Amino acid sequence: MTRDRHSETDTIARKAQQMEEARKRRRESAWYGLGMFGLVGWSVAVPIVAGIALGVWIDQRWPCEVSWTLTLLLAGAVLGALNAWYWVQREGRDD
């Protein structure tokens, strides 16, 4: 029984090492880099476009001295930057 348990432990350790090596190889590929670039781009673009759309809608609905389009564009840019920072930190933490 001790010998069987030892061989199971070795098998598990070997499989874990293989998975770790495969994960590292995946991160080094060009497709992984392009995917991260796209993820960060979309995480910035979506809040900016949403802020602009909401700002235009508010400006048309309730005109006032303040340009809600510009205000929400800036808010979307800040939110997008924070979102991108979160994703980059999250992916960097796995290394």
Residue 3 identity (one-letter amino acid): R
The residue among 88, 94, 92 whose CA lies nearest residue 39 is 88
Q: Average pLDDT, whole number, for the chain?
A: 83
Predicted local confidence at residue 17, as pLDDT: 83
Q: Name the CA radius of gyration of the chain, rounded.
A: 23
Predicted local confidence at residue 55, as pLDDT: 96
* Residue-by-residue DSSP string for 25-76: HHHTSHHHHHHHHHHHHHHHHHHHHHHHHHHHHHHHHS--SS-HHHHHHHHH
pLDDT in tens, 19-65: 877 766 655 677 777 777 787 888 899 999 999 999 999 999 998 89
